Amino acid sequence: VNHVVVVGAGLAGVRTVEALRGRGFTGRITLIGQERHRPYDRPPLSKAVLKGESDTSYVDTDLDALGVEFWPGVTAKSLRAGVVETTEGEVAYDGLVIATGADPIRLPGDGPQHVLRTLDDAHELRAMLVPGARVAIIGAGWIGAEVATAARRAGCVVTVVESAATPLATALGTELGGRTLPWYDGIDVRFGTMVDSVDEGGVQLVGGEFVEAHVVVTGIGVRPAIEWLADADIDLHNGVVTDEHLRTSLPGVVAVGDCAAWWSRRWRTRLRVEHWDTALNAPEVAAATLLGEEAVYDPVPYFWSEQFGHMLQYAGHHPAGDRLVHRGEPEGKWSAVWLTADDTLAAVLAVDRPRDLVQGRRIIEAGSRLDAERLVDPQVPLRDC
């Protein structure tokens, strides 16, 4: 491999560049990024940046020292074998990394609609979170909950509209999601409510009601940013399809991060995980694969969220588990685990109980079984269950 082109200058893209150099690759690397910023981390955007505690979240990396040709503000438009077509012309590659991440889904309507994906989005939104501003947040998922946290703290009058019966229902199910409902104290919450459109001055709900708002933030999820690959001869299905080595169906092409749907040996299914830990760690494997080395990406997926003064941490893949067991009462610090039919730990959710997360993640990695009787006592450390 002489020339590696990396499309997407987010965390997954820049980490792949670092991993290539770390493995001794001395050839040419071109990093193409649609945004004008150098690579930055997104988790702080809905936390420190939105709260005004920090202005940026640039990844601590030196692109010059890495010997990278960085093309900011350039978009890849299409791909054919060996060539990426961009807004600045064609680039030939002999190794290609697809790391284009994901784009927020928007709702219909002509009214101003904020999303939170980029640093620019965060700055724009932050300027509008002023005391007394009426803020309507559509979606009570991870992003919605974190934006609601920042907006309430800024003294805004907050409404949250969510089609499911509880917050975090898609990610965790309504039983656990419902445990976070008391955290929405002081917020006007509308669960089981569908939005028709975002209009001038607010949100039109299905059924006729209009929620007035100065600021509307849509946080209903993302889609893998793969439209530019629509005409390429590459397998796409809920993202760029890869094997366990992060190899795509096109020779010399790997995919990483939010856009990649990889084959998980551990869970025997295809996973696409839109979380930071994947963008951080999958690139080691992608780089190795591109350089012809043998490497497998087989993580226990990990994720965290900071909302309403609580730290939520999740590890595992709970569709693999069929029994939910609670540890601790909803009023305090608690966690929950998903067990498979033979009491193997499939996933753990820890709320303000970081030890359960750390121990749980190790237990999942080891594939050990737990004693469900001991598990329900939150005083017993998970590793002793």
Tell me the β-bridge partners of 7: 32, 98
Residue 304 token pair = 């965290």
The interface region with ligand FAD, picked from 20-28, 98-106, 319-327, 361-369 by CB under 6 A, is 98-106
Interface residue with ligand FAD among 79, 97, 99, 232 (CB under 6 A) is: 99
With a CB cutoff of 8 Å and minimum separation 6, the contacts of 119 are 35, 37, 40, 45, 49, 56, 57
Give the span between the Cα atoms of 13 and 34, in whole angstroms. Answer: 12
- Nearest approach in angstroms of CB 353 to ligand FAD is 17
Candidates 4, 91, 225, 339: give the one binding ligand FAD (CB under 6 A).
225
From the CA atom positions of the chain, what is the Rg in Å?
A: 22
116 contributes a contact to ligand FAD by CB under 6 A: yes
Kindly tell me which residue out of 63, 102, 156, 382 binds ligand FAD, with binding defined by CB under 6 A: 102
**28: its two tokens:** 């040419």
Residue 101 sits in the site that holds ligand FAD (CB under 6 A): yes
Signed CA dihedral, 123, 168, 212, 134: sign only: negative
Instruction: For residues 178 and 172, give the distance between their C-alpha atoms in angstroms, rounded to a whole number.
Output: 10
Answer yes or no whether residue 348 interacts with ligand FAD by CB under 6 A.
Answer: no
In angstroms, what is the minimal distance from the CB of 116 to ligand FAD? 5
The reply on whether position 75 binds ligand FAD by CB under 6 A is yes
Report the site for ligand FAD in 39-68 (rule: CB under 6 A). 42-43, 45-46
Applying CB under 6 A, among 79, 107, 125, 143 the residue interacting with ligand FAD is: 143
Q: Would you count residue 70 as binding ligand FAD (CB under 6 A)?
A: no
* Window 261 to 300, contacts with ligand FAD (CB under 6 A): 274-277, 279
Shortest approach of ligand FAD to residue 146 CB, angstroms? 7
| Residues 227, 228, 232, 234, Cα dihedral to 10° | -60
Report whether 364 contacts 338 (CB < 8 A): no
Q: CB-wise, 12 or 136, nearer to ligand FAD?
A: 12
With CA atoms as reference, report the closest residue to 213 among 294, 151, 145.
151
Smallest CA-to-CA distance from 307 within 55, 120, 43 is with 43
Shortest distance (Å) from residue 287 CB to ligand FAD: 14
Helix (H), strand (E) at residue 277 = helix 276-290
CB of 33 or CB of 316, closer to ligand FAD: 33
- Structural tokens at position 201: 């001055």
CB of 295 to ligand FAD, least distance (A): 18
Q: Which residues contact ligand FAD by CB under 6 A?
A: 7-13, 32-35, 42-43, 45-46, 75-76, 99-102, 116-117, 143, 225, 228, 257-258, 274-277, 279, 303-305
